[in-house]
Amino acid sequence: MAEENEVECPACPEPDPCPEGVPAWMATFADLVTLLLTFFVLLYAMSKTDESKFNSVAGSIRKAFAGNAMKIGETITLGNSPDDSLSTLESQEPVEPFPIDLLTTEGLLEEKEINRQSDEDLKMMKETLKENNLEDSVNIYEMNEGIKIRITDAIFFEKGTTVMANSDVVPVFKRIIKLMKENNWTLFVEGYSDLGERWSKDSSVGPMSLSAMRAGEVTKSLISRGVKPEKITTVVYGDSRSKRGRIFRRVEFILRKRDLRTEGKRVGSR
């Protein structure tokens, strides 16, 4: 009886074949791209922040994942559509792709190298100043173009003349000469004058010329005592930095390890 009521089950249809997925190599490629992006981000995170280079990196990433980007003032942002939604259709100033020089010694790595060199220069210069008994006679400044050492003891002059008025600076002057003979540094000799000061021997010689004469006399004295002429730079200010009621008829000294007259790296004008 059971056999008579038994109904044969129709055959189930064959399942549709699954669509073929992406090739297996895509997974490896995606991993590689992710690792490269992580590597670039790590390089940037380890470097000192530079706004222009940060903008280039940000623009490159946005360009790769969201089309063009435009620069508004100091901010990188996406363009805006009429309904104020984010869009890339109205980009005005495309940002350059990720600059390859960020990975070279002329980019981020060079900046870290410069910082390291600056620290080494500062340590070495302090030791040299101590050896020459000048550590108490200077003010040291860290600047973008290198370490600057200003000698606190200036040479003052009689009014309207090139005659030195203070003899107490002579020991410091001698130590500067010794330091310049033993080290490949650059010495800046800066000449000043009082407001409206003129040469006592010729009233037609004004503040600028008078300060130049004073700086020239000191420079000639340095050269005659063995300092190399190519390591001296004479700077003339006249009375352009003088203030009424203060004595500015003097010559000051600045020491640098780097010569600021070097040409440096030439870049294009556009």
CATH of the domain at 190: 3.30.1330.60
* 8 is a domain residue: no
* 98 is a domain residue: yes
Do the bridges between strand 250-256 and strand 146-151 make them parallel or antiparallel, or are there none, so unpaired? Answer: antiparallel
- Which one has a higher pLDDT value, 270 or 187? 187
- Say which range, 18-27, 120-129, 138-147, 149-158, has the weakest mean pLDDT: 18-27
Strands (E), the chain: 70-72, 75-77, 79-80, 86-87, 138-143, 146-151, 155-156, 186-192, 232-238, 250-256
Strands (E), 39-89: 70-72, 75-77, 79-80, 86-87
Q: How is residue 117 written in tokens?
A: 């060199």
Give the separation between CA 101 and CA 108, rounded to whole angstroms: 8
Task: Identify whether residues 124 and 86 lie together within a single domain.
Answer: no
Confidence bin at 29 (pLDDT 50/70/90): confident
148 DSSP β-pair partners: 141, 256
Q: How is residue 191 written in tokens?
A: 């000449």
* 245 is a domain residue: yes
How far, in Å, are 53, 86, 155 from residue 167 at the CA level?
Answer: 52, 72, 8
Is the pLDDT score of 242 beyond 80? yes
Task: Identify whether residues 73 and 200 lie together within a single domain.
Answer: no
Task: Identify whether residues 155 and 222 lie together within a single domain.
Answer: yes
Task: Identify whether residues 88 and 136 lie together within a single domain.
Answer: no
- What b-and-e string marks burial along 100-128, b requiring 16 or more CB atoms within 10 Å of the CB? eebeeeebbbebeeeeeebeebbeebeeb
User: Tens digit of pLDDT for each residue in 30-73?
Assistant: 888 888 888 888 887 766 556 666 666 666 666 565 544 444 44
Confidence bin at 243 (pLDDT 50/70/90): confident
Domain enclosing residue 226, as ranges: 120-256
Give the separation between CA 22 and CA 143, rounded to whole angstroms: 56
- Which one has a higher pLDDT value, 103 or 163? 163
How far, in Å, are 8, 11, 19, 59 from residue 15 at the CA level?
Answer: 21, 12, 12, 48
Task: Identify whether residues 99 and 124 lie together within a single domain.
Answer: no
Is the pLDDT score of 130 beyond 50? yes
Is the pLDDT score of 193 beyond 60? yes
Strands (E), 78-161: 79-80, 86-87, 138-143, 146-151, 155-156
* 13 is a domain residue: no
Mean of pLDDT values over 162-179 = 89
Residue 214's nearest CA partner among 196, 230, 193, 195 is: 193
User: Tens digit of pLDDT for each residue in 69-128?
Assistant: 444 444 444 444 444 544 444 444 444 444 444 444 444 445 455 456 677 788 889 999
Give the separation between CA 215 and CA 192, rounded to whole angstroms: 8
Task: Identify whether residues 190 and 215 lie together within a single domain.
Answer: yes
Q: What is the pLDDT of residue 88?
A: 40
Is the pLDDT score of 202 beyond 90? yes
Give the separation between CA 225 and CA 234, rounded to whole angstroms: 17
Domain count, the chain: 2
